[in-house]
Amino acid sequence: MAFAENPLWINALSYSGAQMRHAEAMILAATGTAGGVGGGVRPGDPGLLVTLTGMAGSVASGVAAVPGLSGQGLYRAYTASTSTFTVSTAHASLTRIDLVYLRVWDNAADGSGLTQADVVYLAGTAGSGTAPTPAGTQLYIPLATVTVPPGSTTPSVADARPAAVAPGGIAPVASAALPTAGLYIGHARYNLVRGMIETWNGSAWVAQGDWVTYTPTWTAATTNPTLGGGATLTGRYSLVGKLCTAKIELATSSNTLFGSGVYAWAIPFASSANGTGVSMGAGHGINASGRWDLQGLVTSVQSIMNVWTPSASGDCRLVSLASGQGMGGVAWATAQTMRVQVEYEIA
């Protein structure tokens, strides 16, 4: 059986408050629950900002979106004038954290007999280390926390107003909300702690230029090498637009089998066909004979990097690293290290 609801803006239809609030949920970003909607103030809006002068508090007039409980939709609230409050007397020996919040009353939902929005100051519990949570079934958004040191008459205030943005909008996010996962791949936010835009990649928030770990593969033209116990092969990359910087580090052990043929190491993204077709990077290798300059090479439309080395001590000509060609002509063995970094354009 299908259940019908009236869509908005159709002539001759009337709508309940709940229907209007549910439809208006479309104007703000989702929360990850069906019909859920984020609340807060508009970024950059000074409305509902909380300030203190000694123990006297003031809350500027303003507008905000307040999410309802399940099935209630979105409330849009407005306070026309400045609200004031007085901070409760400090505890003699313990710090207290208080909460200032914007509350919406809806008699149809809470049976309070009220239909209004107001600002509330709620003193916390001294020594708890956390701000209080409003009791009962209340619709609200936090505006600020007030920290009251022991015996103090000069508490401090921290802005706690969440940012309400349109779907796809970039909300500024403070430290308390940073652990929250993204809702979809490509979801963007502005990290106020790092001072940069991050996007959700499905498992983590990442900004352009962040270093990301990946596991490169090590192959050879004929028989692939195997690392063996005690050996390591690690990779990291940083991506800014189409420019990829990749780092690969190899450390061999007595259990490493070196395969057969010219070596290649996987890069995190395939290279572009644009440009000159060749990207080079620098590196160094360490073996029993000392430290060697290395050169990483990525050619166009490839998913691998080759590494070049001096062919022998005293010979500056470069040859590809291979099973029979170690760094500087020294045979591959235990406890050798190769580190190479290369920049290239991705496809």
Domain locations in the chain as residue ranges: 17-164, 170-207, 211-345
Tell me, letter by letter, the H, E, C secondary structure of the chain.
CCCCCCCCCCCCCCCCHHHHHHHHHHHCCCCCCCCCCCCEECCCCCCCCEEEECCEEEECCEEEEEECCCCCCEEEEEECCCEEEECCCCCCCCCEEEEEEEEEEEHHHHCCCCEEEEEEEECCCCCCCCCCCCCCCCEEEEEEEEEECCCCCCCEEEECCCECCCCCCCEEECHHHCCCCCCCCCCEEEECCCCEEEEECCCCEECCCCEEEECCCEEECCECCECCCCCEEEEEEEEECCEEEEEEEEECCCCCECCECEEEEECCCCECCCCCCEEEEEEEEEECCEEEEEEEEEECCCCEEEEEEEEECCEEEEEECECCECHHHCCCCCCCEEEEEEEEEEC
Check residue 275 and give its pLDDT: 57
- pTM value? 0.66
Check residue 1 and give its pLDDT: 47
* Tens-level pLDDT at each residue, the chain (347 residues): 455 577 888 888 888 888 888 888 888 888 888 878 888 999 889 999 999 999 999 999 999 999 887 768 889 999 999 999 999 999 999 999 999 999 999 988 788 889 999 999 999 999 999 999 998 778 999 999 999 999 999 999 999 999 998 888 999 999 988 999 999 999 999 999 999 999 998 999 999 999 999 999 999 999 999 999 999 999 999 999 899 999 999 999 999 999 999 999 999 999 998 755 678 889 999 998 889 999 999 998 899 999 999 988 877 789 999 999 999 999 999 999 999 999 999 98
Rounded to whole angstroms, how far apart are CA atoms 191 and 232? 34
Check residue 109 and give its pLDDT: 78
- Could you tell me the fold of the domain covering 211-345? Adenovirus Type 5 Fiber Protein (Receptor Binding Domain) (2.60.90)
